[in-house]
Structure 1
Amino acid sequence: MTDVLSGKKALVTGGSRGIGAGVVRRLAADGAAVAFTYVQAKDTADALVAEIVEAGGRAVAIQADAADRASVRSAVATTVAELGGLDILVNNAGQGVVAPLAEFPDETFDRIMALNVTAAFTAIQAASEHFTEGGRVITIGSVNADIVPFAGLSAYTTSKAAVAGLTRAVAVELAPRGITVNNLQVGPTNTESNPDSGPFAQVMTGLMPIGKFAQPSDIASAVAYLAGPEAWYVTGASWNVDGGFGLGFHS
């Protein structure tokens, strides 16, 4: 563990597994007290809390559906009550569905927007009431905001492009208070929902000069930098952490 984030309090939405769990582990290892949300996997969430505590950190698991605005606001309030404040918000909860435009269900589109866009807006809105100078907002976006490698990504791409715009607008609004707001546009990452051995893996690696998936810890490293004091001059940015996704093709 380090102490670069000692005394800081963080909330990670969708933090029980995948990229979110990697971020929880890294922020805790850097000294932050971390709350994170989960939807249903209580056993997984509790195991992550136990892991953080055993390593000497502090973590709190909060059951919350990011698609529900009231639940998001409640998660922020619970974080503040449990940890005694809030300095870092990581909007990680999200969903991607691949389906043809003509067949895309209304309810699926609405849920993707609720999870990927509305949840981030609501969490930032609620968290900003508690931030002091030095507050940090990091949203986990996607390189698919700019690059669409195959058909069926209309809803997902729309949502991640919206996150990039939201980041720029909120960065302007919160900058006078010394709060930074940034967006990590991640590329293919080896998680339960998108394994590096999955059906899209060969297509994805073919679009990356580096030629392999990131691990959650790789994304967490970028989050940790943006959450720390050295990143005070970075705001309104959409950073690609993507292995050079879309820069070229290779066999």
Structure 2
Amino acid sequence: MRQTLKQILPVGQAAVDLLFPPICLWCGAAESDAERASTTPAPSSAAPPASPSATPHTSPALCADCVERLLGPRPSRCRRCGMPTSADAPALPNGRCRACREDAFHFSAVVPLGDYVDELRDAVLAMKETTGRTLAMAIARLLAAEARATMESFQPDLIAAVPMHWWPRAWRGMNSAEIVAETLARELCIAWAPRLLIRHRYTAPQSDLPRTRRRTNVRNAFRVSRCYTLDRPRVLLVDDILTTGATCSEAARTLRDAGAADVFVAVVTRATSP
């Protein structure tokens, strides 16, 4: 029976796609089979064997044209903070760039999908809306496809999201960083730790504050949930935007103080200016 279902399901899906062609979540255009194949991440040879329950989930696709526009240029980046580097502004011998050489981050590396500009910026803002769940899933799959090797090189044991305080979360109805983190966990077959971090203190929006006040604004804003005991795990921390790094650094400090061995950051976008 199981083998019969495996043979029938692809045929059924093909029939549905023929009658109702998949629609790109970003531009709304109907996708062809070739476009879907080009935006579906190939399995990584470095990925551990997945159990049936850990098989990566599929999520709505983006068309090939939108993927290229969302990704934009792919510059080399500082491993430490994720900022673009160039021949005119190369990374320093210590592995940091000129933008982060004075910053004492509590995370070890940052991997962004792209910069907070143009259509990717618009997509991140759309993800924050109550209707942005499926878009957040698709963007997360794109991040997994683009940066799988880098994220797997961190050898994370857990994936967690930067949390929102309960009040703005209740107002918005969702936290896009959690959706991205959960989808990444499924795509990479890494344990998802929901509500690992709790934002127990309300803070003013970082975007409303100057750079000099952002670290103090989020100081002691997080705690690790009592449901978890951290026994030296390596944690991949996920957020939608990284600007100065203050929020992710404070979240990473909280995780390290609670027992995490190391913390790495994956974000959808890296802002190149505060």
Task: Verify same fold: TM over 0.5.
Answer: no
Q: Which interval holds the TM-score relative to the shorter structure? A: 0.3 to 0.5
With the length of structure 2 as denominator, give the TM-score of the two structures.
Answer: 0.30
**Structure whose CA Rg is larger:** 2
With the length of structure 1 as denominator, give the TM-score of the two structures.
Answer: 0.32
